[in-house]
Structure 1
Amino acid sequence: DSITEGKLIEWTVAVGDYVEVDEVVARIETDKITVDVNMPESGTITELLAEAEDNVDVGQDFFTFEAGPAPEGGAKKAAAPQEDKPAEAPKAEAKKEEPKKQAPAAAPKAAAPKAAAPAPASFDSRQETRETMSTMRQRIAQRLKDSQNTAAMLTTFNEIDMTNIMALRNKYKDEFLQKHGIKLGFMGAFLKASTSALEHQPMVNAFIEGNEIVHRNYVDISVAVASPKGLVVPVVRNCNQMSMAGIEKEIGRLADLARNNKLAIEDMIGGTFTVSNGGVFGSLMGTPIINPPQSAILGMHGTKMRPVVTESGAIEARPMMYVALTYDHRLIDGREAVTYLRRVKDVIEDPSRLLLEL
C-alpha cells in the first residue's frame, strides 16, 4: 500500500529562478493525492530534469539547484506557471464561446419565420467529449482491477439495529462537542467496533505476502473520505490504543485535510483494514472492493426505518443499517468473516459491551 510513482503536473519555477527554502517548486499527482514539492534550502534553480506530464519515481532527482543567497536583483519566480495557466483556460473557453457567437449572426429579425427550426438543433447539440484520466483515477482503476484479479473476494452481509447507538449519540452529542471540540458521529463507533472485532478475529487484520501470512498486533484503519479530486483513504493509526473521542478527533482532522487537498503521503500510507461509509451518499447496500494489500473491507450503508420482529414477537419500526464485509477467502474463512461481522453488530447494538470489555 505504498506510493512508488507520480506524474509531474507542473513546475512553479524556471531555470535561473531564486527560490526560498520551503517554497513550492513543483506539483506531483499520485494515485492518492496531489503533493507539493518544496525547496529543501534556499538557492537558484540550475536545471529541470523532467517535463510536465512526465512520470517520476519516489526518490528520483528531477531538478538541481545551487544553494546560496539571492543574487543581486535576483530572477523573479513564477513567470512560467503564470503563463501556463492562462494558456489552458482560453482553450476550454473557446469551445464554449464559438457556438454562441454564431447564434446571434443567424438570428436576424427579418428571418423570424425560420425560427421554427430549433428541433434539429437538439440533435446537433448531442456531443461527446473526451478527457485524459488523471493519474489518481488511472491508479485507482488499476489497483481495484488488480485486487479483483488477485484476491478470492467474497462478501458476507448483516443488518444492525441502530436504535441504541443513535440514542447514545443524541444523549451525549452536545456534551461531547463541548468537551472534545468535535461532533459525535457514527464513524468513531464503527471504527471502535471494528477494532474490537479485529482483535477477536486477528486473521481479518492479517495479509498475504508471497507464501507467508503477515500478522499484526496493531490496528490501522483506512477510512474512505471524499475529496475535491476523488475518493481518498487516509489512515487512522493505532485504533487499538485510542478512545472513541480520540478516533473521532483523528477522523475529523483527516477529513478536514482531505477537503482542503492538504493530505500528506504519510497520511495515506499503510492501513490494515478499511471502513467505507456509502450511506452518506444514500447507498442501501453494496459489495465493497478490498484495498490491497489488505485482506478485508467493511462497507456501511444508509440507515432506514424498517419493520423488525422483536424478541417478544412484536413488530416495530427500527432504524436499520445493512453492513457488508468483503474479504479475501484465500486467507479468511467464512466462519472468521461472519464472526467478525457479528461482533461489529453486537457492539453497535449494545455499546456497553466496550465499557465492560465483553
Structure 2
Amino acid sequence: MSEIKVPAMGESITEGTVSRWLVKEGDAVNQGDVLLELETDKVNIEISAEESGVLEKILRQEGDTVEIGEAIGIIAVGAGAASAPASPAASDPAPEPKKQAPAPQAVAPAPAAPEVSEAGVKAASPAARKLARERGIELDQVQSKDPIGRVYQEDVKNHGSQPAAPATPAAQAPSKPSAPSAPAPSAATYAKPVERQRMTRRRATIAKRLVEAQQTAAMLTTFNEVDMTAIMDVRKRRKDKFKEKHDIGLGFMSFFTKAVVGALKKFPMINAEIDGEDIILKKYYDIGIAVSAKEGLVVPVVRDADRLSFAEIERSIADLASKARTNTLALSDLQGGTFTITNGGTFGSLLSTPILNTPQVGILGMHNIQLRPVAIDAERMENRPMMYIALSYDHRIIDGADAVRFLVTIKELLEDPESLLIEG
C-alpha cells in the first residue's frame, strides 16, 4: 500500500483544501498521473501518484481541509485491489453434516470501542482537532461515524446538528423548561430566496489576513493628491515609440513603482517589518502589485524594482497579472514583498483606505484620475487631471510625520517625472 500525502508547499502554507479528485476509487493510476487538485490560500497545486497501482481508498473528500503530511488516499501498489478470499478447494472433502442443536437467541455484536489516545481523548485527524478548537467543541462529545471511533473534520462539522441521545427513564428528572436555543441560520430561515455558498480557500484566507492586519497593526492612513499632467504628457509623447521599441505599453504603474522606490530609499523604515521586538530593515525593494483575480485579490511581487527600467517593470507586471488571471502563479511569485501598491482606480475608486499586506508596514493606494479645477496661482484656475493617493502604515514603527513626508515625496516625484530617472 502507498499513502497519498499532502506535500510540503512552502514555509508559509500549512494546510489546504481538496478542490477536486480527478480519479475515483477503483481507477488504475500510473506513476506521475495527476490524482487531485489542492487549493491553498496562495496557489492551486496538483498532487500526482508516486507509484503505479489502483486507487483503493479516498480518505479526504472534496471540500475537506487537510494539513501538510496528512494522508488523503491509499493506492494499492502493483496489481491493485486484493483478491477475494479463496474458496475451499474442490478436492477438499465436504464436512460431514452434524445434527444441529436449537439455535441460541441471537445476540447483537458489541460495537467496537472508540479509539482512544494515551491521554484518554478520542483519536482525531489534525483537521478535526483544529476545527474543534476553533468551535470550542470537546472531541469526547463528538459522535464519530468511523468504525473504530476516530474523529474526522466532517464529524466535528455535524456535531452541532446531531440530536442529543435520549436519556433513560431512570435518569430523567423533572426540571424547569429551558428556553429553546436559536437555530443556526439556514436558507429556510429567510423569507426570501437566498443562496448559500462556501468560501473558496483563497477568499477565506484573505478574510482572515485582513482581520489579523487590523487587529495586530496600529494602522493609520494619510492622503494627498497628485497632479498627473506631466506623466500624462510624457505618456502621450512617448507611448508609440516605447511600444515599438519594447513591445509593451507604457502605463502608470511603472511611474508609481519608481516613485515608491525613490521614497522608500529616503524613508527606509517604511520598507521594514516587525519581528517580535526587533525591526528588520530591508535593503532591497521587492514591490508587491495587487491584482484582482477571479478567486480574489493576490499580490505578486516585482523583484529588485530599483534595478529595473520602465519597460522591465511594465513587462514584469503584465506577466504577473496574466499568471494571476490564469491561476498559474508560483509560490515564488507571491513571497517576500517589502511594500505593496494597489490600484483601485482601475475600477473607478475615487478614495479608499487600503489595508496593510502584513508583515509589511506600508501600502500605497492609487485611485481614479479626475479632471478637477486647480488653483495655479492667486489669479488662475485650470482643469487638471488629479489623483488622490493614500498611504496606510503601521504606526508602531512609522511616525506620522515620516508617513506624511513619504507621501509628499511620492507626489513630488510623480509631478516631475524626469526626477524618477535619478531618485527611482
Q: Same fold (TM over 0.5)?
A: yes
1:58-115 CA distance string (max 9 Å, x none): 45554455788x99xxxxxxxxxxxxxxxxxxxxxxxxxxxxxxxxxxxxxxxxxxxx
Report the counterpart of residue 117 of structure 1 in structure 2: none
**What is the 5 A alignment of 1:254-333?**
254-311=320-377, 313-333=379-399
- The superposition leaves residues 104-136 of structure 1 with CA deviations (integer Å, 9 ceiling, x where unpaired) of xxxxxxxxxxxxxxxxxxxx9942222222222
**Cα-to-partner distance string for 1:235-286 (whole Å, 9 max, x where unaligned):** 1121122112111111000111112122222222221111100000000001
Report what 2:48 is aligned to.
Answer: 39
Identify the residue that residue 198 of structure 1 maps to in structure 2: 264
* Aligned alpha-carbon RMSD (Å): 2.5
1:1-358 aligned at under 5 Å gives the runs: 2-15=12-25, 17-19=27-29, 23-33=33-43, 35-39=44-48, 43-44=52-53, 45=55, 48-58=58-68, 60=70, 62-63=72-73, 126-311=192-377, 313-357=379-423
Asked if the contact 2:203/2:295 (under 8 Å) is kept, the reply is no
Residue 160 of structure 1 contacts residue 322 of structure 1 at CA under 8 Å; is this kept in 2? Answer: yes
How far the C-alpha of 1:17 sits from its partner, in A, is 4.0
The CA distance in 1 between the partners of 2:350 and 2:377, in whole Å, is 25
**Cα gap change, 1:189 to 1:339, in 2 (>3 Å):** same
Change (3 A) 1:287 1:66: same
The amino acid of 1:338's aligned partner reads V
The 2-side partners of 1:237 and 1:166 are apart by: 26
Mind listing any 5+ residue stretches in structure 1 that lack a counterpart?
72-123
- Is 232-241 or 315-324 further displaced after alignment? 232-241
Q: For residue 188 of structure 1, what is the amino acid of its counterpart?
A: S
Counterpart residue number, 1:94: none
Could you say if the C-alpha distance between residues 266 and 25 of structure 1 is closer, same or farther in structure 2, counting changes exceeding 3 Å? farther
Change (3 A) 1:350 1:23: farther
TM-score (norm 2): 0.66
SS of corresponding position for 1:213: strand
Offset at residue 186 of structure 1 (A): 0.4
Secondary structure at the residue paired with 1:306?
strand
Taking the aligned partners of 1:61 and 1:304, their CA distance within structure 2 comes to 55
Q: What whole-Å deviation, never above 9, does each CA across 1:7-39 have from its counterpart, x for those lacking one?
A: 111111235544456543211222233x13142
Range with greater deviation from structure 2 (1-10 or 170-179) = 1-10
Please give the TM-score of this superposition, normalised by the length of structure 1.
Answer: 0.78
Aligned residues: 304
Which has the bigger relative contact order, CA under 8 A and spacing at least 6?
A: 1
Contact map agreement 1:10 1:28 (CA 8 A) in 2: yes
* Structure number, greater radius of gyration: 2
For the 8 Å contact 1:239–1:247, the answer to whether it is kept is yes
Query: Is the Cα–Cα contact under 8 Å of residues 25 and 36 in structure 1 kept in the other structure?
Result: no
The whole-number CA distance in structure 2 between the counterparts of 1:306 and 1:202 is 33
Contact 1:182 1:248 in 2 (8 A): yes
Question: What is residue 106 of structure 2 aligned with on the other side?
Answer: none
Q: What is the rounded CA distance, in whole Å, between the counterparts of 1:191 and 1:289 in structure 2?
A: 18
Query: Conserved in 2, the CA contact under 8 Å of 1:41 and 1:67?
Result: no
Distance 1:169 1:212 in 2: 43
Change (3 A) 1:57 1:180: farther
Letter in 2 for 1:191: T
Moved more, 239-248 or 146-155: 239-248
Cα distance in 2 for partners of 1:47, 1:204 equals 51
CA distance in 2, matches of 1:295, 1:210: 14
